[in-house]
Chains A and B, each alone.
Chain A
Amino acid sequence: MDQQHEQARVDGHARTPVATIADEHRRNGARLDSDLARQAAAGRTVRDDAAVVFDLDDVTVSYAGFPAIRNVSMQVRERMITALIGPSGCGKTTLLRTLNRMNDLIPSASVEGTVRYKGADLYARHVDPVEVRRRIGMVFQKANPFPKSIRDNILFGPKATGMTFDADDLVEKSLRGAALWDEVKDKLDSSALGLSGGQQQRLCIARAIAVEPDTILMDEPCSALDPIATGAIENLMRELREHYTIIIVTHNMQQAARASDMTAFVTTEVSHDEDGRDRRSGRLIEYDRTEVIFGDPRDTRTEDYVSGRFG
């Protein structure tokens, strides 16, 4: 495999192979001793040989000409859970929405740099955003089931994308995949709006699975849920990891530490434009294995953030 694909790049730093960083940390031992670091270190297998799904090279996303997040270079690997953490307003959601061209829906948004998805430039001229979103599903911060029946919510995507499918099979498979089947199998034709918040969010995950994507983007999927519902979603994410690549934006560090394999820390940096005015935009500070980010981060800003001294 191409040498480049084995590197986890961090903006501005020399490109260091993942394995080397991990070895170094094993030698030094975790510097941070916290609950988060222990959770992050708990039994986790990061496949160093996993294929690269997203390859971002110097990506800057701007709204109306003002960068919301800039100069991001990173690689996201297959069948792992990659968490984007950072203080609110740092641009992590913007970065996530760049990965399935959701930002196209905002007229003033523009993307510079290249975003490669399995080698294909997502922002090439001939690429159809609808096809992109078919392959790269998304679950949103607030559960947004359609005001239709549970069944129709599941079948919406397959119908929209013109898949051929067996409705009953697909509904059951998707709901089982989202660990919701047993709770709703007797009321598939009742309104999705009657479900609890946690059930609605799992329905949205089931809905995303139904179009058979290979990647699922999750934008703070648990921020509106209680701890029990959150636990259910996290368990589900671990199961989904067997088949899907998952990228999750979260401001909950516990969640990132518990659930993710890789973690990227993004924060807001103030820079000055030509007129000397402050411009705030997000920067990727550090991207590494979750246990490194929470146990032995290289950047002091990351350390301050994960140890609660910032944000």
Chain B
Amino acid sequence: MTSDVRGAGGPAVDLRAGSRRLGEKLVLTLLWVCAAASILTTVGIVVILFSEAAGFFREEAVSLRGFLTGTTWQPFGGAQGKFGVLPLVAGTLLVTVIALLVAVPLGLTSAAYLSEYASPRTRRILKPVLEVLAGVPTVVLGYFALTFMTPLLRATVGQLTTISVFNAASAGIVMGIMIVPTVASLSEDAMSAVPQALREGAYGLGATKRHVVHSVVMPAALSGIVAAIILALGRAIGETMIVALAAGNLPNLTYNPFEQIQTMTAYIVQAVQGEAPRGSLTYESIFAVGALLFVITLLINIAAARFVRRFREVYS
């Protein structure tokens, strides 16, 4: 082959890359390093959390089992401290459940309205408003929970029961409002992705719009909706400032939403502000709680991604 070409037109054309391509290789390598930076971030998170947490579990005062099953969290007593993480987990769950009770109904109905009823103009106004809500700094929401929601609750529900200044309910309600946009935006994507053919099929059978929305569109978008709720759950569990400001700092194993509690994230914030020199039991306990938080949110993210993938498979 080669000799034929040469025979036909003198020396063969040189199709190899010129030397300027060396510089390009360098730039490409640089871009690759940028892409790898995010992997380094994950590696950094995993290594730092688990190495410090490992140090924590090597201490005499703690055991992994005692950490995961203990019901008393008194971390500031040094070697006399009690490190049972369940009160923090329970506090986190309590606030999260309240938040989801607020966010799921509001988010889903918003999504259904935006996807199925709203005119393009209404959508153009409402969606940015929801984006703004999602962009309000959480420290501001914490202020709102403490200085607006708590007094509101005490003036209303407070007539029936005692509500402490710091309580899970107002933090949970405000957090729920914060994650409405998360639920709404992803669920709306899922509902909008339901093929028009399915809606037409239902209309063609004489279904009313309401029936189409709740019997065709919502079931068909279910895995997308579930993904949205799981992601919202992840945000609620990891949310820090609202609970640090409004839910209190009392590790308290309770179901009562009007009592003071402490979440995992609030503990981290509380502990880093106090005296926690590196290597101390308190310092290591922060990372142990952080590691637990990381594992929980990681599992939640993996679950959400699985539902998103399932949804894409059905309607691609």
Q: Per-position contact with A for B192-222: 1 when CB-CB < 8 Å, else 0?
A: 0001011111111111100100011001100
Q: Check if B205 sits within 8 Å of A102, measured CB to CB.
A: no
A66 adjacent to chain B (CB < 8 Å) = no
Q: Check if A148 sits within 8 Å of B219, measured CB to CB.
A: yes
User: Nearest A residue to B195 by beta-carbon distance?
Assistant: A144
Which of under 10, 10 to 19, 20 to 34, or 35 or more describes the interface residues of B?
A: 10 to 19
Q: A147-B220, A147-B314, A148-B219 are in contact. Are A156 and B202 (CB under 8 A)?
A: yes
Q: Check if A211 sits within 8 Å of B203, measured CB to CB.
A: no
With a cutoff of 8 Å between Cβ atoms, the chain B residues found around residue A157 in the complex are: 205-207
Q: A144-B195, A156-B215, A160-B215 are in contact. Are A130 and B208 (CB under 8 A)?
A: yes
User: How many A-B pairs fall under 8 Å by CB?
Assistant: 74
Q: Which of B205, B216, B314 has the most CB of A within 10 A?
A: B205
Interface members, chain A 119-166 (any B CB < 8 Å): 130-131, 133-135, 137-140, 142, 144-148, 156-157, 159-161
With a cutoff of 8 Å between Cβ atoms, the chain B residues found around residue A289 in the complex are: none
Interface members, chain A 189-217 (any B CB < 8 Å): 204, 207-208, 210-211
With a cutoff of 8 Å between Cβ atoms, the chain A residues found around residue B202 in the complex are: 146, 156, 160
Q: Check if A100 sits within 8 Å of B204, measured CB to CB.
A: yes
A14 adjacent to chain B (CB < 8 Å) = no
Q: Check if A138 sits within 8 Å of B211, measured CB to CB.
A: no
Q: Check if B200 sits within 8 Å of A140, measured CB to CB.
A: yes
Which of under 10, 10 to 19, 20 to 34, or 35 or more describes the interface residues of A?
A: 20 to 34
With a cutoff of 8 Å between Cβ atoms, the chain B residues found around residue A211 in the complex are: 205-206
User: Nearest A residue to B208 by beta-carbon distance?
Assistant: A130
A1 adjacent to chain B (CB < 8 Å) = no
User: Nearest B residue to A148 by beta-carbon distance?
Assistant: B219
Report the minimal beta-carbon distance from A160 to chain B, rounded to whole angstroms: 4
User: Nearest B residue to A129 by beta-carbon distance?
Assistant: B203
Report the minimal beta-carbon distance from B220 to chain A, rounded to whole angstroms: 6
Report the minimal beta-carbon distance from A45 to chain B, rounded to whole angstroms: 29
Name A134's contact: one of B200, B206, B219, B220 (CB within 8 Å). B206
Q: How far is the CA of A148 from the CA of B205 in the complex (A)?
A: 15
Q: Check if A131 sits within 8 Å of B200, measured CB to CB.
A: no
A228 adjacent to chain B (CB < 8 Å) = no
With a cutoff of 8 Å between Cβ atoms, the chain A residues found around residue B208 in the complex are: 130, 160
User: Nearest B residue to A107 by beta-carbon distance?
Assistant: B119
Q: Check if A133 sits within 8 Å of B203, measured CB to CB.
A: yes
With a cutoff of 8 Å between Cβ atoms, the chain A residues found around residue B203 in the complex are: 102, 105, 130, 133
Q: How far is the CA of A145 from the CA of B204 in the complex (A)?
A: 12
Q: A105-B200, A160-B211 are in contact. Are A147 and B205 (CB under 8 A)?
A: no
Q: A146-B216, A147-B314, A156-B215 are in contact. Are A140 and B207 (CB under 8 A)?
A: no
Q: Check if A161 sits within 8 Å of B197, measured CB to CB.
A: no
Q: Check if B206 sits within 8 Å of A131, measured CB to CB.
A: yes
With a cutoff of 8 Å between Cβ atoms, the chain B residues found around residue A207 in the complex are: 201, 205
Q: A147-B220, A156-B215 are in contact. Are A140 and B205 (CB under 8 A)?
A: no
Q: A156-B215, A160-B211, A160-B215 are in contact. Are A144 and B197 (CB under 8 A)?
A: yes
Q: Which of B198, B202, B206, B216 has the most CB of A within 10 A?
A: B206
Report the minimal beta-carbon distance from A247 to chain B, rounded to whole angstroms: 13
With a cutoff of 8 Å between Cβ atoms, the chain A residues found around residue B215 in the complex are: 156, 159-160
Q: Which of B201, B203, B204, B215 has the most CB of A within 10 A?
A: B204
With a cutoff of 8 Å between Cβ atoms, the chain A residues found around residue B220 in the complex are: 146-147
With a cutoff of 8 Å between Cβ atoms, the chain B residues found around residue A146 in the complex are: 198, 201-202, 216, 219-220
Name A140's contact: one of B204, B211, B219 (CB within 8 Å). B204
Q: Check if B207 sits within 8 Å of A130, measured CB to CB.
A: yes
Q: A144-B195, A147-B219, A147-B314 are in contact. Are A160 and B201 (CB under 8 A)?
A: no
With a cutoff of 8 Å between Cβ atoms, the chain B residues found around residue A139 in the complex are: 204
Q: How far is the CA of A160 from the CA of B214 in the complex (A)?
A: 11
With a cutoff of 8 Å between Cβ atoms, the chain B residues found around residue A148 in the complex are: 219
For this complex, 11 residue pairs linking A to B, each with C-beta atoms less than 8 Å apart, are A105-B200, A130-B206, A131-B206, A133-B203, A133-B204, A137-B205, A144-B197, A145-B201, A156-B207, A157-B207, A211-B205
Q: Footprint of A on B, CB under 8 Å?
A: 195, 197-208, 211, 215-216, 219-220, 314
Q: Footprint of B on A, CB under 8 Å?
A: 100, 102, 105, 130-131, 133-135, 137-140, 142, 144-148, 156-157, 159-161, 204, 207-208, 210-211
Beyond A100-B204, A144-B198, A146-B216: 11 further Cβ-contacts under 8 Å?
A: A102-B204, A130-B208, A133-B206, A140-B204, A142-B197, A145-B201, A146-B198, A147-B198, A160-B207, A161-B205, A161-B206
Which 4 residue pairs are nearest across A and B when measured between Cβ atoms? A134-B206, A157-B205, A138-B204, A160-B207
